Structure 1
Amino acid sequence: ADGFMPARTPLGFALSKDVLLTLRFKHMKAFDDVQESISRSPAQAGGPGALVVILEAVVDHAADVLEGVGGDLDCLSEEIFGTNAANARRRKPREDGEQLRLVLRKVGRNGDLTSKIEDLLLGMARMLPYVAANAAPYLEAGMRAKLKSLQRDIDSLNDYVTHLTDKIQFLLDATLGLTNIDQNNIFRILTVVSVIGIPPTFVASMYGMNFKNIPEYDWSFGYQYGLLLIALSAIVPIIWFKWRGWW
């Protein structure tokens, strides 16, 4: 299918000595060049030859997709651990969090795409031995050799899928770890601020406004002054959090 995130769609084959029928419900990008390839080589015009060409096209397309995933993961790894990562950490926590969420979504999309390619390779790995065994009378020596080569290619791609899956899991863990570190840094600052405020709060709760020589008692606008302080005590932390990028 076209696009970055292909959808699963069934693909069926009915093979005879001279005819190959394909059953598809959606356009498949791997089939775009199959007709042109068969027209250039008349020896592949029969049913078995056409089947081999289609299977080769599917495997080649899967390899291209996996190569693209590998390139994306390299870019994401550089974004997380590269030389520019230290400068990126100097941004506001809110901006840094948005960037980490974007990286997390990219890692997830690549993981989903790799999983779909893995399912495709699993189906083809089961199909090739079946074709080789049941279509043996129709297959020439060259076609049987191509089927064996396809099987080796699929085995190699499966190994590469395992490598990509491990790398995706590593990047996922690293991204979540960086998110937790940023959150812990914010909580640490808030904890320090709250601990600093505990002793004054304790003293105020013991003595309060229990002294006779408090100047504010004689102020004409003492009550309004107190309300203003209460409002400022709520507004100033909000402004500070916004400025620091914590909210």
Structure 2
Amino acid sequence: MVFVYQRTDSAFETANLSEIKELDKIVWIDILQPNEEEIKQIEALFNFKLPTKHDREEIELSSRYWEDSRSIKINSYFFVSFFFVENAKSHYNESVSFVLQDNILFTVRDSELQTFDMLSQMLLSYPKELYTGYDVFMQIFDIRIDRDADLLEYASRECDEIRKKLLWESGSHSVEVLRKISTLQEFTLKVRQSVFDKRRILTAMAKSPKLSKQIKEDLSIMMKDINSLIEFIAIDDNTLDNLQNLFLAQTSIEQNKIIKLFTVASVALMPPTLIASIYGMNFHFIPELSWGAGYHFSLVLMALSSAIPLIYFRKKKWL
């Protein structure tokens, strides 16, 4: 699918490829899962080659940002999340390609992304001062940065909930809590990859001679916002590490309690076992064999031998 956004005097309107008449009115062409025919039409009409899926997923720096005399080509990560972390498949980084050429922005992507839907609604409903593809590109990144900030705030709230659960709720050292901490760590890692990628792209763009002074000033503001997000990510990372250490400490305490219980039980039962073993020996000349109270004496002796270690442990506050 190809969505063409054209600027009129006071608003934006959409068009199909076949309806394009005046190229100078086009501001943004959004290309979603294009077929071969659509790719050929765009490449013939605008005289350039669209990035392939393989190009979008390249991780080398030279493949993430490329600028020549005619255009700027950018491959960026867009973090996708459904605002829950119970499943690691609920968040991932989606690659998106941007091509800026002749004041037109071309975006190439393989899946629906909320950022682009929001911008589309914004352009059609509340048109802003967006006249070129560079303006639209800056607006996309601005929306994306705000979205990443929301995701980090969500992760921070989740960390607070886990901390409260670990400190105040019994049975909080479950596998589910550890799984949630681990998934949140992966969640934050994916956001960090996306934010770092944005910083690298904007840093490279700031050096471009194709950008106006106003756009470079806007880039400077965005860079400050991104640096703030990076500091926020570092705080979340430290918090998650502390939560994991707290979880492991609580698990160790619970295990120590269980081991201590078994140890006390073993020590308490050792004297009665010894006494029972002595009186269970098959020797004819045992003094208590002919004693009428011998059996009751042995039972009392075993009870005392169990009670004395328990009393001693309690006085030592081991129980």
Q: TM-score, normalised by structure 1?
A: 0.74
SS across alignment from 1:9: strand
Select the residue among 184, 188, 196 that pairs with 1:122: 196
CA distance in 1, matches of 2:128, 2:149: 26
SS across alignment from 1:119: helix
CA distance in 1, matches of 2:111, 2:138: 21
Deviates most, 118-127 or 104-113? 104-113
1:25-36 equivalence runs, <5 A: 25-36=110-121
The alpha-carbon deviation at position 160 of structure 1 amounts to 0.5
What is aligned with 1:13? 98
Deviates most, 193-202 or 121-130? 193-202
Contact in 2 for aligned 1:16/1:48 (Cα 8 Å):
no
The alpha-carbon deviation at position 189 of structure 1 amounts to 0.5
SS across alignment from 1:21: strand
What do the CA deviations read for 1:169-195 (whole angstroms, capped 9, x no partner)? 001100111011011101100001011
1:53-132 equivalence runs, <5 A: 53-81=139-167, 85=168, 88-89=169-170, 96=171, 100-132=174-206
1:98-247 equivalence runs, <5 A: 100-134=174-208, 136-137=209-210, 139-210=211-282
Deviates most, 204-213 or 161-170? 204-213
Q: Highest CA radius of gyration, 1 or 2? A: 2
What do the CA deviations read for 1:188-214 (whole angstroms, capped 9, x no partner)? 000010111222333444553515669
Deviates most, 153-162 or 191-200? 191-200
CA distance in 1, matches of 2:274, 2:108: 78
Q: Judging changes above 3 Å, is the alpha-carbon distance between structure 1 residues 131 and 17 closer, same or farther for their aligned structure 2 residues?
A: farther
SS across alignment from 1:133: coil
Count residues in correspondence: 200
Gaps of 5+ in 1: 90-95, 215-247
CA distance in 2, matches of 1:192, 1:118: 49
Select the residue among 119, 132, 147 that pairs with 1:46: 132
SS across alignment from 1:43: coil
Gaps of 5+ in 2: 1-79, 85-89, 291-319
Ranked by relative contact order (alpha carbons within 8 Å, sequence separation 6 or more), the top structure is: 1
Q: TM-score, normalised by structure 2?
A: 0.58
Identity of aligned residues (%): 26
CA distance in 2, matches of 1:201, 1:124: 71
Structure (1 or 2) with the greater strand fraction:
2
